[in-house]
Structure 1
Amino acid sequence: MLVSAGQEALWLAHQLDPDSSAYNVVLAVRLRDPVRTDVLQDALTALVDRHELLRSRFPATDDGPVRLVEPPTAVRLDVREVPEADDAGLFRLAAQAGREPFRLDRSGAFRVVLLRRAADDAVLVTVTHHIVSDATSQWLLVRDLFAEYGARTGGTARPAPAARADWDEQVRAERAFVASPRGGRAAAYWRDRCAGLGAAALPTDRPRPPQRTLNGATHEIVLDPSTARRLREASAQRSLTPFAWLLGTFQAALHRSGCGDGFLIGCPVTTRFTPATREAVGYYVNALPVAGRFTRTTTLLETVESAQGQLRTGLAHARHPVELLTGGPGHGPLFRISCTLVAADRLPVAGLYEGPVRLGGLRAELCDVPQQEGQLDLTTEILQDSGGFRAMLRYNTDLFDAAGIERFGRTWTRLLDVSLDAPVTGVADVPLVARDDLDFLLALGADPS
């Protein structure tokens, strides 16, 4: 069985730090009704029968990793009785279940843990390694798992047979594209886009270790409703997307925070280009290199418009794996910082981000545990839902203190606010300290005489 370029890169990262959970993708759901574990196991078997990557393992060979597929019964539900746990303890146990490392060569890249506190109170934790999953996949597998469960208990109708995506065919198509004239043109486009630019790198609080580490934490930014409303209005008025506006100001914040006048960041996008892949669990992701270029006169609006233009044209070349652009060992990473958007209203399980729902006849609500921390220097995930926008800044704790990331977050929101009020303001001209705070700081240094 075949592996894609992206999977091979993830496998190598796992080999370098097999005990890290940085690439674990987690979706945990609190269940408020009794769960029949025998039925849940049957549903799990049906799930992994449909999505073969969930029952794949990745041993090493002399030529690199290969993919071996196990029978559907190989994936077993892990039931853990935790009657003494309070709500906080149950959350900690769910987070811990999500952090447990995988042994990709032996036990594969998928597990399901049921933390049962009482007959009608449990948390179901689904965990995949990124090598077999992405953000959409995690929601797809939860949707399909509960659909199978509900069909067996009478809680929901039996799900319609889903088209099965052939992962080997996906990899063959990727390789054929790379070798084709279109693939050559895409590679040339990306080489031209990246020419002369290095990976954006924020000044660190500690020296960068000689070997890459994957230890992380998260800082959350929530836009207030007024800012979210202004962002939507300003974007619509100029035929821009809110994400492009946020991305442009994010790049401006990197520039003002010490990343220099020219740099690259990555923007992960989906590679689900066919009807079958849109319903499949797998690593359907590529990261588009997005350039930030600044002069003394670059305006906030120019930065936002550049971000939108690069995203639009970059999507036309998204089939070319970014892993093939790095130039090989010794050339350094293409980027150390990424920024992506998750639109909650487009996720396969509608409403779960915003409140309790019914899944497979069971009352369920999201248990939003920390995850995917430390993959890069900084990975930023922007969640857009009906309530507005929030950003999860996941950073490497061996490089940055929490205070430094919080300061960067304030710089970003400051530039965003100014861009909404006066978009043609120069990026270099935005004061990063509010007027009253600046007056206070100046007063501290004034001669008391």
Structure 2
Amino acid sequence: MESVIDVSPISGRDLPPIHGACRMFPLTVGQQHHHARQLLQPSRRTAIQRSFRLAGELDVPSLLDAVRALVQRHEALRVSFVPTDEGYRQRPILMPSAARLINCQRVDGASEERFRAYVRAVLAKDILASWDEREDYPFRFRLIRMSQQLHALVVTVQHAVIDLRGMGVLERDLWAHYRGKRLLEPALDESGESVSGFLGAACQQQQFVERLAARNARFWKNRLDSVPRGLDVTPLGSADGGRQDFEETHRIEIDFSPRERDNFEHVAAVTGSTVFQLLLGIFASSVFRLSDQRKILIHMPFDIRQRANVGTLGMFAASLPVVVNRKSTVEAHQREVRDSVLQTAMHGHISPQTLVDAYGHNLDQIPLRSQIQANYVEVGRATASPDLADLTVDTDYYKPRFRPLAPALYLQVASNFDRSLKVELIANCTSLGAVAAMNMATSFRRLAKEVAS
């Protein structure tokens, strides 16, 4: 007889109104880029998510206390966004009530398979849910219990307040507190604001960018003026015919073993690059085989936080375009990507308006089909630790199997616990055509395997 899943809350969901200080703070450059891209692509995913399969005895009170300490320590988890005549500003808000910190649920009568299916459904729901930037806290913590020996913790944080490095800080501090290493609570002034924290770092970064933006503007204008606005793959994409659903994609996942990753690292060391840059070179080679363009843009995140804010949870990463020139070989593309990434990083402090001006378009007129995106994720790199044997991460929980897709091409590289690599490559068939998408994916797989072997 099939079991019935009964989902019932363990704690209440009383949602008190949010009150906080009235002082407004500027957005970081990363936050400004994020809001600008939201205007361009309202359907974009706006959250970063982690999920943990907690096997064995779980100290639930300690975990709930760790979540409380985490939100108390990190100011970025206690901000709201307010539209003003000069654009968005952010402000601190008070600590949420205990009921609002985390949603606890119990899944009764479920098999392991059905429990996993339920967790995936929660993942998909949370990552696609909208955020009320003035009323919602920018996080969702969910603890889902199947039994005393099996829980799942799902963490979803609004991308406007956190980048991938920040998520690593969140994971490190959460599990450090759970293991008994108490987090240092931030010093607060009389109004309840952090004396030093994310909002202070945002002010410092704004001042820093203002000093450098004018100098970097000429570099960006010269770099971007010569790049085609769209990705032209008509010679390969025109054979499809007919209108296709925007969500139709061609997707491949390629798993590289630890040995293959070692080979990537050896090649990268010889060429003075990183494994991610190596894969971007292969990616660029595959794209150039679809197009006659002489240059392409690949948008990728750059962490432009200052050294003093390495341990600060917040949104400091800006999505900047790397310009890649056509070369004759894969090896030459790898060197081209390496050099372009370094040049982009050197000029990373740039105002969002400078990029818009360089394109020569208003925010609502930049063509979506010119978007090529690439991303690198360390799955669980800072989460589980050897001395916590009952804590494991199930990478299948890491993300849902779908996402709203706007870019024509999207590459994501995920680094796993066992030093393996997973590459997910997605091509929007509507923008490229199904034939072009399939050929590009096939080309990337073949070239990557050749380098890995």
TM range (shorter): 0.7 to 0.9
1:251 aligned counterpart, secondary structure:
helix
How far apart are the structure 2 equivalents of 1:59 and 1:66? 5
* 1:109-258 matched pairs, under 5 angstroms: 109-151=138-180, 157-159=181-183, 166-180=197-211, 182-199=212-229, 201=231, 203=233, 219-223=252-256, 227-258=260-291
Alpha carbons 1:340, 1:380 under 8 Å: kept: yes
TM-score by length of 1: 0.76
Aligned partner letter, 1:324: T
Matched, 1:336 2:371: yes
Matched, 1:349 2:349: no
Aligned partner letter, 1:338: Q
Distance of aligned partners of 1:401 and 1:331 in 2 relative to their CA distance in 1, 3 Å threshold: closer
Question: Quick one: which of 120, 124, 139 aligns to 1:92?
Answer: 120
2:319 aligned counterpart, secondary structure:
strand
Percent identity of paired positions between Structure 1 and Structure 2: 21
How far apart are the structure 2 equivalents of 1:417 and 1:120? 40
Question: Quick one: which of 76, 81, 100 aligns to 1:53?
Answer: 76
How far apart are the structure 1 equivalents of 2:434 and 2:168? 30
How far apart are the structure 2 equivalents of 1:185 and 1:206? 46
How far apart are the structure 2 equivalents of 1:394 and 1:380? 6
Distance of aligned partners of 1:138 and 1:226 in 2 relative to their CA distance in 1, 3 Å threshold: closer
Alpha carbons 1:208, 1:399 under 8 Å: kept: no
Alpha carbons 1:22, 1:375 under 8 Å: kept: no
Question: Quick one: which of 102, 105, 125 aligns to 1:80?
Answer: 105
How far apart are the structure 2 equivalents of 1:287 and 1:36? 39
- How big is the shift at 1:258? 3.0
Q: State the aligned residue count.
A: 402
1:128 aligned counterpart, secondary structure:
strand
How far apart are the structure 1 equivalents of 2:291 and 2:271? 29
Alignment partner, residue 53 of structure 2: 30
Question: Quick one: which of 30, 38, 45 aligns to 1:6?
Answer: 30
- How big is the shift at 1:338? 1.7
How far apart are the structure 2 equivalents of 1:166 and 1:403? 50
Alpha carbons 2:115, 2:146 under 8 Å: kept: no
How far apart are the structure 2 equivalents of 1:408 and 1:94? 33
* 1:273-352 matched pairs, under 5 angstroms: 273-275=306-308, 277-294=309-326, 298-321=328-351, 324-327=354-357, 329=362, 332=366, 336-343=371-378, 347-349=381-383
Aligned partner letter, 1:336: Q
Distance of aligned partners of 1:15 and 1:344 in 2 relative to their CA distance in 1, 3 Å threshold: closer
Alignment partner, residue 380 of structure 1: 411
Alignment partner, residue 392 of structure 2: 364
Distance of aligned partners of 1:208 and 1:362 in 2 relative to their CA distance in 1, 3 Å threshold: farther
Alpha carbons 2:163, 2:316 under 8 Å: kept: yes
Alignment partner, residue 444 of structure 2: 412
- How big is the shift at 1:15? 6.5
Give CA deviations for 1:67-112 in whole Å, capped at 9, x if unaligned: 2322123442111222244244234234234323322221132110
How far apart are the structure 2 equivalents of 1:214 and 1:67? 33
Distance of aligned partners of 1:9 and 1:230 in 2 relative to their CA distance in 1, 3 Å threshold: closer
How far apart are the structure 2 equivalents of 1:372 and 1:98? 12
Give CA deviations for 1:403-449 in whole Å, capped at 9, x if unaligned: 8645422211323455679xxxxxxxxxxxxxxxxxxxxxxxxxxxx
Note the aligned Cα RMSD (angstroms). 3.6
How far apart are the structure 2 equivalents of 1:91 and 1:259? 45
Give CA deviations for 1:112-135 in whole Å, capped at 9, x if unaligned: 011222222111100011101112
Matched, 1:269 2:302: yes
Alignment partner, residue 11 of structure 2: none
Q: Which segment is superposed worse, 241-250 or 88-97?
A: 88-97
How far apart are the structure 1 equivalents of 2:406 and 2:399? 16
1:82 aligned counterpart, secondary structure:
strand
How far apart are the structure 1 equivalents of 2:435 and 2:116? 25
Aligned partner letter, 1:120: Q
- How big is the shift at 1:218? 5.9
How far apart are the structure 2 equivalents of 1:136 and 1:341? 11
Q: Which segment is superposed worse, 382-391 or 69-78?
A: 382-391
TM-score by length of 2: 0.76
Distance of aligned partners of 1:404 and 1:112 in 2 relative to their CA distance in 1, 3 Å threshold: farther
How far apart are the structure 2 equivalents of 1:389 and 1:49? 34
Unaligned runs of 5+ in 2: 1-24, 188-193
How far apart are the structure 1 equivalents of 2:33 and 2:62? 37
Distance of aligned partners of 1:162 and 1:57 in 2 relative to their CA distance in 1, 3 Å threshold: closer
Distance of aligned partners of 1:105 and 1:279 in 2 relative to their CA distance in 1, 3 Å threshold: same
How far apart are the structure 2 equivalents of 1:282 and 1:82? 33
How far apart are the structure 1 equivalents of 2:248 and 2:161? 21
